[in-house]
Structure 1
Amino acid sequence: MTKRKNVLVVDDDPVFKLIARKLFERSGDFFEVTFAENGLEAIELLRAMIDEKLKSIPDIILLDIEMPIMNGWGFMEEFVKLPEEATQDISVYTVSSSIAQEDKNRTASYPQIKAYITKPLTVDIIRSIAGIP
């Protein structure tokens, strides 16, 4: 039996969030998905989870780059400041419609980011990053 994965999707696009929700549902009963509108909301949510020692700390974060208030890079600047013992098992994936090489290069500068995924998201991608056959 595969352990359920807690996933945090950080994206301001309502269409992407709707599609992501449907894709996770189609991927099987393996995911508990939470959504955040921007990097600030996501980092505040993570801090609260860590402070309260919640078991729902994400296993996977799908992070958009371009968002209002705090973009994906601002989120990563704050993420690396969180206690390593609380974040070491979180796999971050940037998910963006950008094909800019500079974004891909910047992704590589964060060891916490496992991969750069170009939208659209698919069931196969979701199952692959979660390690589900």
Structure 2
Amino acid sequence: MNLEEVLLIDDNNIDNYINKFIVGKSKITTKITVQCSPVEALDYLKHMEGKFPKLIFLDIKMPEMDGFGFLEIFDKFPAQKKENCNIVMLTSSHNQFDIERANNNPYVKKYLIKPLDLTKLKDVLKDVFAYV
């Protein structure tokens, strides 16, 4: 599998380092973009040419805007840019309300508890992209 780009959105630098390492080790993409804030990520997407990345890992609890705030604004982007874009919530939250809210969002394809590892990433590829 070769995704053109994977976007990581998390305010925690250590999590970003781990996630970038795991995604890089999997060789599913040659371009891994890290955004440390959902506001920066939305700006990045706003100025992006063409379609959005097929895979976005999104944290929930971040200081200036949470992951659900990101999803509300993401919803307003043109449909053709969001086509084939899959969001995976990657969070430390075990809160049932967060889980249900994420699972009820049409853009969220999977909810994962940190940390990301190769097994979880393989599950994402299998469940979201039907890649074995």
TM-score (norm 1): 0.87
Equivalent position SS for 1:40: helix
Preserved CA contact (<8 Å) 1:38 1:71: no
Q: Distance in 1 between matches of 2:28 and 2:88?
A: 21
What amino acid is aligned across from residue 69 of structure 1 in structure 2?
E
CA distance in 1, matches of 2:28, 2:54: 15
1:36-115 equivalence runs, <5 A? 36-49=35-48, 53-54=49-50, 57-115=52-110
Determine the C-alpha separation between the residues in 2 that align with 1:81 and 1:4: 24
Q: 1:44 to 1:124 in 2, by over 3 A?
A: same
CA contact (8 A) 1:5 1:60 kept: no
Per the alignment, residue 22 of structure 1 pairs with: 21
Deviation sequence 1:38-63 (CA, Å, 0-9, x none): 111111111110xxx246x3110100
Q: Secondary structure at the match of 2:76?
A: coil
Secondary structure, in 3 states, of the residue corresponding to 2:94? coil
* Unmatched 5+ stretches in structure 2: none
Residue by residue, what CA displacement relative to the aligned partner does 1:61-116 show, whole Å, maximum 9, x if unpaired? Answer: 10000011111011001000000111021000111101000000110221110011
Q: Which runs of 5+ in 1 are unaligned?
A: none
When structure 1 is superposed on structure 2, of 27-36 and 93-102 the one drifting more is: 27-36
* Alpha carbons 1:24, 1:31 under 8 Å: kept: no
Where do 4+ consecutive residues of structure 1 move more than 3 Å?
Answer: 130-133
Note if 1:6 corresponds to 2:5. Answer: yes
| Cα gap change, 1:4 to 1:115, in 2 (>3 Å) | closer
CA RMSD of aligned residues (A): 1.6
How many residue pairs get matched? 128
Check the 8 A contact 1:104/1:116 in 2, yes or no. Answer: yes
